[in-house]
Chains A and B, each alone.
Chain A
């Protein structure tokens, strides 16, 4: 499977709500990546894990991972390698803020409507297996 095919699989898993599977898929890519792409993938992984924890009744883990994922992804706004990072981050921030509120009140209730999706539109002019030469924030 090419990098792009596996990345597309990870995006599909994220958008289907399969966050554990998504983190596994992106993790394989993360292990073999370097530079900006590696940090970007880790931001996606931590975001997926954060959503997973929010669904699994672990709001502390959710807040921690969502915050760390957002911190990494923020450097890749507005988009990176076909991913609308701006939109994704807005969604993740809403979920993170809801988790934070739940932690403050001691009454976190997971709301599926707050789970963001990834808007991914790969550039057809770029080879699916191009190296991680994407520039941050492009």
Chain B
């Protein structure tokens, strides 16, 4: 399943640079995927809604692969000192589904990758 950030978030920003898929955005910011920019009320291509936040860092579920393909564990959760990066019960994905997501993202949005 994708990771989400709870409203306990203190906005320290430790998580944002750690995401290999650039799936984490500062509260209030627009987000982008495959060259398209989305605002607060826009659903993700998958139809997902409710993940955008005006006040706290948020994670775009369409771009989150729980770091599969990059790390052994979700890096946002690993660096968060207050444990507010948690599995999203609304976006439950198997390991196989996440691996396919990585391949899909590599096809449509290779520019998302850091470094």
Q: Spell out A's residues near B (CB within 8 Å).
A: 20, 23-24, 26-27, 30-31, 42, 45-46, 49, 52-53, 58, 60-61, 64-65, 68
Q: Spell out B's residues near A (CB within 8 Å).
A: 6-10, 12, 14, 79, 81-83
Could you give 22 example pairs across A and B, Cβ below 8 Å? Answer: A20-B10, A20-B12, A23-B10, A23-B12, A23-B81, A24-B12, A27-B81, A30-B81, A42-B82, A46-B81, A46-B82, A49-B8, A49-B82, A52-B10, A53-B8, A53-B10, A58-B7, A61-B7, A61-B8, A61-B9, A65-B82, A68-B83
Q: Is the beta-carbon distance between B81 and A45 smaller than 8 angstroms?
A: yes
The closest CB in chain B to the CB of A24 belongs to B12
Q: Which residues of A contact B14 (CB under 8 A)?
A: 27
The closest CB in chain A to the CB of B78 belongs to A31
Q: Is the beta-carbon distance between A64 and B6 smaller than 8 angstroms?
A: yes
